[in-house]
């Protein structure tokens, strides 16, 4: 079966009574979303602001619970797993955020930042963590002596490599990348996307890539879904979709 299977996903938010511009009640941030991603493939998720992209990412990462529907990774229903099993399953899916400066704690060394997912798993010694940090740093094109540095000592593109190294360290099957290059200069964007592509080929990583930028999606993705008001309104290859755009 597919690596990731999302079925009839619904997320409703209850609006506060005093909300000014909408009647009290609920908003359907996601309204029956289904798709799958085969292992080693890349799905792009595009859509205007408010279409439900972040809500979808949070549900796939099991950071939020759906109102209805399922998220299955490797056949396991993430939102039904007991807490301890979910903690272990978290090795298999990691996230890379838009703004690497914002998501990297400026007071922590690169070593502490990159090993954070291993600290959360709590099964490795500090020495093992350091060794794995050195390995993933080299996989993203950084050096072992960067381990003791702090985020502000790096360029934007290098900080995004650090964020990717942090995601890689548990050897995940799925990486959810939310606007991973949109804070970077265009020339640097291509370098980071090429790195993501290389890692995919090397390790069989599967991506769910959220982006407002069709060129970025076209660079990395085999298939695209377009979200509009919480529903998938179009899907196809980037070529098919962007011919009509």
Q: Given the complex with ligand ADP, which of 8 and 185 has the nearer CB atom?
A: 8
Site for ligand ADP in 14-43 (CB under 6 A): 27, 29
Interface pick for ligand ADP out of 3, 4, 44, 55 (rule CB under 6 A) = 55
Least distance from C-beta 220 to ligand ADP, angstroms? 17
- Are 223 and 236 in contact, with CB atoms under 8 Å apart? yes
**For 214, phi and psi rounded to 5 degrees?**
-65, -30
- Are 121 and 90 in contact, with CB atoms under 8 Å apart? yes
**What is the maximum alpha-carbon separation in the chain?**
56
Q: Name the 3-class secondary structure at 73.
A: strand
Q: Name the 3-class secondary structure at 245.
A: coil
Q: Does 232 bind ligand ADP (CB under 6 A)?
A: no
The stretch near ligand ADP (CB under 6 A) out of 95-103, 104-112, 131-139, 155-163 is 131-139
User: How many chain residues are in contact with ligand ADP, going by CB under 6 A?
Assistant: 17
Interface pick for ligand ADP out of 3, 46, 136, 232 (rule CB under 6 A) = 136
The C-alpha angle with vertex 212 and arms to 29 and 20, in degrees rounded to 5, equals 40
Q: Does 53 bind ligand ADP (CB under 6 A)?
A: yes
The stretch near ligand ADP (CB under 6 A) out of 50-58, 86-94, 184-192, 235-243 is 50-58
Q: For residue 76, what is the enclosing H or E element?
A: strand 76-77
Q: Does 44 bind ligand ADP (CB under 6 A)?
A: no
Q: Given the complex with ligand ADP, which of 137 and 193 has the nearer CB atom?
A: 137
- How far is residue 40 from each of residues 83, 94, 207, measured CA to CA in Å? 27, 15, 8
Q: Does 198 bind ligand ADP (CB under 6 A)?
A: no
Q: Given the complex with ligand ADP, which of 79 and 91 has the nearer CB atom?
A: 91
The residues near 233 (Cβ < 8 Å, ≥ 6 apart) are: 226, 227
- Are 210 and 226 in contact, with CB atoms under 8 Å apart? no
Q: Does 126 bind ligand ADP (CB under 6 A)?
A: no
Least distance from C-beta 54 to ligand ADP, angstroms? 3
Phi-psi region of 204 (alpha: psi -120 to 50; beta: other; left: phi over 0): left
Q: Given the complex with ligand ADP, which of 64 and 222 has the nearer CB atom?
A: 64
Site residues (vs ligand ADP, CB under 6 A) = 13, 27, 29, 47, 49-55, 135-136, 139, 168, 171, 203
């Amino acid at each position: 079966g597919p690596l990731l299977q999302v079925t009839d996903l619904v997320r409703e938010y209850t609006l506060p009574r005093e909300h000014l511009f909408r009647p009290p009640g609920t908003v359907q941030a996601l309204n029956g979303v289904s798709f799958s991603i085969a292992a080693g493939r890349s799905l792009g998720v595009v859509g205007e602001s408010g279409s439900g992209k972040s809500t979808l990412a949070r549900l796939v990462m099991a950071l939020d619970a759906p109102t209805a529907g399922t998220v299955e990774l490797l056949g396991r229903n993430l939102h039904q797993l007991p807490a301890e099993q979910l903690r272990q399953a978290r090795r298999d899916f990691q996230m890379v955020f838009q703004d690497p400066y914002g998501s990297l704690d400026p007071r922590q060394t690169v070593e502490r930042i990159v090993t954070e997912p291993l600290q959360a798993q709590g099964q490795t010694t500090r020495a093992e963590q350091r060794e794995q940090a050195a390995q993933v740093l080299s996989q993203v094109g950084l050096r072992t002596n960067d381990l003791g540095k702090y985020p502000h000592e790096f360029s934007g593109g290098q900080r995004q490599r650090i964020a990717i190294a942090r995601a890689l360290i548990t050897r995940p099957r799925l990486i959810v990348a939310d606007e991973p290059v949109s804070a970077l200069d265009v020339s640097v964007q291509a370098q980071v996307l090429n790195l993501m592509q290389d890692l995919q080929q090397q390790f069989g990583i599967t991506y769910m890539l959220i982006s407002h930028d069709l060129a970025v999606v076209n660079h990395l993705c085999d298939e695209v879904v377009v979200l509009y008001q919480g529903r998938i309104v179009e899907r196809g290859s980037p070529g098919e979709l962007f011919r009509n755009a």
